[in-house]
Chains A and B, each alone.
Chain A
Amino acid sequence: MRNIVITPLAPIRISVEAEILSPDIFAPLSMEQICGLDVWQGNRKKKISDLFRVVGDEGPAKPEETALRLEGDFSRVKRIAEGMTAGTVDVTGSVGMHAGNNMLGGKLSILGNADDWLGREMRGGSIIVEGNAGNYAGAGYRGERCGMRGGEIEIRGNAGAYLGEHLCGGNIRVAGDAGDFPGAANQGGTIFIGGSCHLPGAEMTKGTIIVNGKAKVLPGYQKLEIVTIGGEKYQKYAGDLVENGKGELFIQAGSS
């Protein structure tokens, strides 16, 4: 395994676009080449070594044998692990927007919080966030018809609004609460919310949403029978009938 550790030289105040912080980009390069990679900070182009201390094993290696460790606060660093196909990225702090977007494989774990658009349009691999995630986790970007299509996102804290909007596949699991409109316009995939949320599955045509806490259900949903999943009783709904949808919504029985 080739281990590389990246640490900010100083606290980052102006946002950095760091789609290069990915095993796929680092794996084939030598340490010197890695230090020479370009990143944009605001409207200025900089070298990665201007902003970060990068140390680790000399390459090259295959992406699946590359492990990146991001130590410190990366909450102003965007697009970490964008489009990664293999390997691992571990972040000890928080990450900025668009972490793990378009991911195809590998594993991204975040000990702190994730900002908006976590794992948007991802197709494979897995993301684990120990803290909270922002809005639009696993969603599709503006105007896109399909958000996440595959892979797993696990959020151990809470998630923001529009969780898994336009979801087309894959699994999202939130241990805590989700905000407004989780699973809006879904066309597939599964969302599990451990806590409560507001108005899940608006315009959902296909897919499954399970809410373990309380949720206000939209009038476009048809109330069906009580079912048991994993020993728990849930009220089942079908919808969203506004879109002639065939989605399934399960809300903890007795909670709503």
Chain B
Amino acid sequence: MIIRGGIVYDPANGIFGEEMDLCIDGGRIVEDAKGEVIDARGLLVMPGGVDAHSHIAGKKMNTGRIMRPDDSRLGTEPRSGVCRPSTGYTVPNCYAMGYRYARMGYTTAFEAATPIIEARHTHEELEEIPILDKGALTLFGNNWEVMECVHDKDIAKLAAYVAWGLRAARGYGIKIVNPGGGEAWGFGSNVKGLYDPVPNFDVTPAEIIHALAEANEMLRLPHSIHLHFNNLGKPGNYTTALETLEALKDIKPSRMRQAVHVTHMQFSAYGGTSWRDFESKAPVIADYINRHNHATMDMGQLLFGAATTMTADAPLEYGNARLTHNKWSNHDIELEESSGVVPMVYSRKMLVNAVQWAIGLELALLTEDPWKVLMTTDSPNGSPFVNYPEVIALLMSKPKRDSEMATLHAELSKRTSLGGIERELDWSEIAIMTRAAPARILGLEDKGHLGFGADGDVSIYNLLPEEVDASKEHATVKKALATAKYTIKSGIVVCKDGKIIATPRGKTYWVDAAAAQADMDRLMVDLQEKFERYYSVQMSNYAVQDVYVTNPKVIKAGIGAEPLKEVA
């Protein structure tokens, strides 16, 4: 396949809007190819989109679907052509996940949080998501074995457990959600800060995070720790954010990447002492990120309208349920986590929601280096992923932000700095924030760029980047991004003019990390006791079997493994 004459944005390879041809053969970008010619003259061409943080599969997604029959009728599309039926808006069915991402030019998405014991369910759903390449991050932040290793300061055994857990879950990396808080929630409480001890374990969140970061680097995992802060969603929590980042400064990354990825920073950049004097502290956070190089983040942008909050941060969801009087699902996950789901509507009339909306944009616009901040909505917590084009249009257009702000609470301009920010992102920066950076941050060497050997994932939009002024013509930008002219996945045209025309199966990434045998032996003694005494399942039934991951892409890591190839 040859893609002719597109205006290519491939920031990972230093290409910023150059007219060039791309060739794909055998599902990969190559120097020269024959066959189908796609006319992309003058059109915007980027690598296929990569979403590093989205809730797309697993038990809490399914709980959301069960709780929200009202949502399932919002996005119904009948079966047609190669497509099976779609349902849902904030909590779509599996098929819709694949079709809707592909329609926007995305080809890769990572599920953000899966406890090991529920990983089989996650993979059953991932298997049913068409087109996309995917993976799932594994939760470790409230795990009993983790906390015991942390208490004993036994990082080697912790690394062995992480390696074992990733293998058992067929997981991609370490996700930490409100460390210690999920365990405390089992007793109806929460941890109040980084140095508040976790009941019964005599460890602090700071110790858990630091130890998991050390284990992560000991195992040379492709991704860093992926962190959801303590005190998330509470006024005044920006101090917790800064404290946590400061506590991780001494972590030395084992690869050319960040030491910590902070997810949905919007929910952790709050000032004020209550919802009454709630204000944005995004400038402080962005300033910290600008001055330090060990951390990256994603926006977790909030948009007005329907959302479904779902997180392993169960105490947070209890607060949401009390605040909104809405439906609430609360879940205790054996020795590993707790979680919750609450439907949500973010309203333009609410000052708090308006400030939250502004914070996400401030974070992205005030962070100078686009490689440090990803465009996400923490779908479906801030807004479902189908609204990414709206976020991008807001980032690219000051007039759009202004006209939006004019419809919001008058007090908003006192609570945020958004009105004074002139910056408008360009296509290179957008390509970094939605393609190159997520791939680099996740450690996916074949994704997010168009160099030779990269996966043949390309998105072509019906937009002339050299003629369209994104600042003024933001409506055009939004429309073009919502329906890709072509989405090409591994060299196959899967979407043409916004219509899905092929549904190939994607790969599932997981990380197979090696740990020292002696540590693994010590670990097994612990685990056997845990399964005998506490778990509801046998150890032999615990791990995800290969039959649940039929198209795996295994990335080797761990002690003694070959040094990993660096991502561009």
Contact = CB atoms under 8 A, between A and B. Distances in A.
- The dominant DSSP class at the B interface is helix
A85 to B, nearest CB: 20
Nearest to A146: B70
Interface in B321-336: 326
Contacts of B71: 143
A44 interface: no
Interface in A41-82: none
Interface range, B side: under 10
Given A140-B70, A141-B73, A145-B326, 11 more contacts: A141-B69, A141-B70, A142-B69, A142-B70, A143-B67, A143-B68, A143-B69, A143-B70, A143-B71, A144-B70, A145-B70
A143 B68 CA distance: 6
A145 B69 CA distance: 11
Contacts of B70: 140-145
B551 to A, nearest CB: 32
A3 B245 CA distance: 72
Nearest to A243: B325
Interface of B: 67-71, 73, 326
Contacts of A144: 70
A143 B326 CA distance: 11
- Highest count of chain A CB atoms <10 Å: which of B70, B71, B73: B70
A145 B67 CA distance: 12
Contacts, number: 14
Interface of A: 140-145
Contacts of A142: 69-70
B76 to A, nearest CB: 13
A245 to B, nearest CB: 11
- The dominant DSSP class at the A interface is loop
Nearest to A140: B70
Nearest to B67: A143
A219 to B, nearest CB: 21
Contacts of A141: 69-70, 73
A143 B91 CA distance: 13
Contacts of B68: 143
Nearest to B71: A143
14 contacts: A140-B70, A141-B69, A141-B70, A141-B73, A142-B69, A142-B70, A143-B67, A143-B68, A143-B69, A143-B70, A143-B71, A144-B70, A145-B70, A145-B326
Contacts of B73: 141
A141 B71 CA distance: 11
A145 B324 CA distance: 12
B222 to A, nearest CB: 40
A145 B68 CA distance: 10
A143 B69 CA distance: 5
Sort A-B residue pairs by CB-CB distance and give the 10 closest, nearest first: A143-B70, A143-B69, A142-B69, A144-B70, A143-B68, A142-B70, A141-B70, A143-B67, A143-B71, A141-B73
A19 to B, nearest CB: 13
Contacts of A140: 70
A98 to B, nearest CB: 12
A117 to B, nearest CB: 13
- Highest count of chain B CB atoms <10 Å: which of A140, A141, A143, A145: A143
A29 to B, nearest CB: 23
A145 B326 CA distance: 9
Contacts of A145: 70, 326
A93 to B, nearest CB: 28
Contacts of A143: 67-71
Contacts of B69: 141-143
A99 B67 CA distance: 26
B89 to A, nearest CB: 12
A41 B71 CA distance: 25
B307 to A, nearest CB: 14
Nearest to A244: B325
A140 B73 CA distance: 13
Contacts of B326: 145
A144 B326 CA distance: 11
A145 B327 CA distance: 10
A184 to B, nearest CB: 15
B87 to A, nearest CB: 13
A141 B68 CA distance: 11
Nearest to B326: A145
A143 B88 CA distance: 13
Nearest to B68: A143
A141 B326 CA distance: 16
A141 B70 CA distance: 7
A78 B73 CA distance: 17
B77 to A, nearest CB: 15
B88 to A, nearest CB: 11
A137 B369 CA distance: 57
A144 B327 CA distance: 11
A106 B70 CA distance: 26
B279 to A, nearest CB: 30
A145 B325 CA distance: 11
A201 to B, nearest CB: 17
A149 B212 CA distance: 52
